Chains A and B, each alone.
Chain A
Amino acid sequence: MNEHVETPPVAIEDLPLLRASGLTRFYGDRIGCRDISLSLWPGEVLAIVGESGSGKTTLLNCLASRLVPTAGCVEYRMRDGTVRDLFRMSEAERRVLMRTDWGFVHQNPIDGLRMSVSAGANVGERLMAVGARHYGKIRGEAEHWLERVEIATDRIDDDPRAFSGGMRQRLQIARNLVTNPRLVFMDEPTGGLDVSVQARLLDLIRQLVADLGLAVVLVTHDLAVARLLSHRMMVMKGGVIIEQGLTDRILDDPREPYTQLLVSSILQV
């Protein structure tokens, strides 16, 4: 299965970071997503778009190994270059991967944050989970990341409960990025925010993704968000991918009737 890894002439950047093949998830008789194959390269932002119930989040959860697929496999290229099947890894390994090399940004920051501990502890949690035991250094790192996501450092000891929606979302991003992950999953990261806050958050995400060379799988129903952030795009309907390609191509020249409908449904101000 992993033979291609051993061929030396291929540069490591040219190999996909994440590869899914034949990914299928059923909920009883109902289809979550069906027979989905995709590859994601380092530093690439892939948007998965589609209407509610199209299977976007199911696919994302399967990719992030938060949900076990009914069929298919997901392979991930580890930092040491080996390619591993996520669902053949031990749970311990998978959990280590999830809190070091990966990030997951939830639509609702409450799902991704510890609401009863301070912002600093939220950011520092991953560091402590991988063995950081120096309070001063953990705090310094937390301050650095709060600054990076434009949260005033004097809010470091405040609970996220005292934060606005936009701040919480930025805190969630900081919490995920503190271990320098290579891959971040985002589920509607700007959902539920008003447009000006959304715009600033998008700016921030775009900047961080570029600075850190993150690979991102972004699920959104908002085509404008997808256009701003993503390089490549997949359109889902009824649990299958009906169209994929470069973001600009899909948005400017949609081929499938459903994609055309989706693109033409964007409200113009």
Chain B
Amino acid sequence: MNETAAIDAKDAAPVYNFAYLDEQTKRMIRRALLKAVAIPGYQVPFASREMPMPYGWGTGGVQVTASVLGPDDVLKVIDQGADDTTNAVAIRGFFEKTARVATTTVTEEATVIQTRHRIPETRLGANQILVYQVPIPEPLRYLEPREVETRKMHGLAEYGLMHVKLYEDIAKHGHIAATYAYPVNVNGRYVMDPSPIPKFDNPKMDDCEALQLFGAGREKRIYAIPPHTSVVSLDFEDHPFKVQEFSEPCALCGSRGVYLDEVILDDRGGRMFVCSDTDYCERHRPEDGTAPVAVWEEER
């Protein structure tokens, strides 16, 4: 560590409790987390705090991370798969400052991964916790606006309406057009919004070895998927659930079977598809330094 970090740490010490939140708040959130783990997929209300960031920027995820983080944890933060976007960098910096935990961009090294809208391509292990930032926890929200009614529907497991939405998709588009926040049934009981991850990531939630925690700050809800829990994406018998497929590999590392982002290169229709998981992409680049993107450009 250099000198600036030392000064930062000295300044930070008296100002912030470990990981910013006070201990009582963290206990309250942990109680909510325990309940959420005990009832997979059930939305547990919690007393969400004001955080030094606006709603919609991950206030729920940050509170959950702050509550599960210990001094020995190694934190990774991704925003749509990337370690180097504003939100990811800012949240990582936040915990470096307030908890002084080690941070990493390497998925395997992390013990806590806070994510916005992606699940890393690297398979998660039993020693890891994945914390999702959730904007709207209620999967039935746009179908039934009354919260009283949606809670009743969850309570009685009345989920026919969810299929009405999927029916509408097929009727209008010929296939289930939802590509993200695709509803899942957790442990054969609760229907859950997996947060706006691409449906490509849905299968990774099923029987996952890592603990998955979801925090919605504005909506004041926490839910969880314990390790090795069944997570089934909803579908119809004659229109089964399918994930996105990409015709070409990642233009930078050549990986197939990963989720790709489209990058616009110029205003003449030039574009390329690259891994959305930057860590995975960087570690799968060819070692001789030949960037496949160049080859691809020549082919055009």
Q: Which residues of A contact B (CB under 8 A)?
A: 91-92, 95, 114, 117-118, 120-121, 124-126, 128-131, 133-136, 138-139, 156-157
Contacts and interface: CB of A to CB of B under 8 A. Distances in A.
Given A128-B161, A135-B170, 6 more contacts: A91-B152, A91-B156, A117-B165, A124-B164, A125-B161, A129-B160
A136 B238 contact: yes
A130 B160 contact: yes
Interface string B156-169: 10101101110110
B172 interface: yes
B236 interface: yes
B171 interface: yes
B239 A135 contact: yes
A130 B157 CA distance: 11
Interface in B229-253: 235-239
B145 to A, nearest CB: 11
Nearest to A114: B164
Contact of A135 (B160, B161, B238): B238
A141 to B, nearest CB: 12
Contacts of A128: 160-161, 163-164, 167
Contacts of A121: 164, 167-168, 171
Contacts of A139: 167, 171
Interface of B: 152, 156, 158, 160-161, 163-165, 167-168, 170-172, 235-239
Given A92-B156, A125-B161, A129-B158, A117 B238 contact: no
Contacts of B160: 125-126, 128-131
Nearest to B153: A95
In the complex, which of the residues A117, A130, A131, A135 has the most CB atoms of chain B within 10 Å of its own CB atom?
A135
A95 B170 CA distance: 27
A189 to B, nearest CB: 24
A120 B152 CA distance: 25
B238 A134 contact: yes
B191 to A, nearest CB: 13
The list of the 8 closest CB pairs from A to B, nearest first, reads: A129-B160, A128-B163, A135-B236, A128-B160, A134-B237, A92-B156, A121-B167, A121-B164
Contacts of A95: 156, 158
A32 B171 CA distance: 44
Contacts of A135: 167, 170, 236-239
A59 to B, nearest CB: 25
B165 to A, nearest CB: 8
Nearest to B172: A157
Contacts of B168: 117-118, 121
Contacts of B236: 133-135
A139 B174 CA distance: 13
A130 B239 CA distance: 18
Nearest to B160: A129
Nearest to B156: A92
Nearest to A131: B160
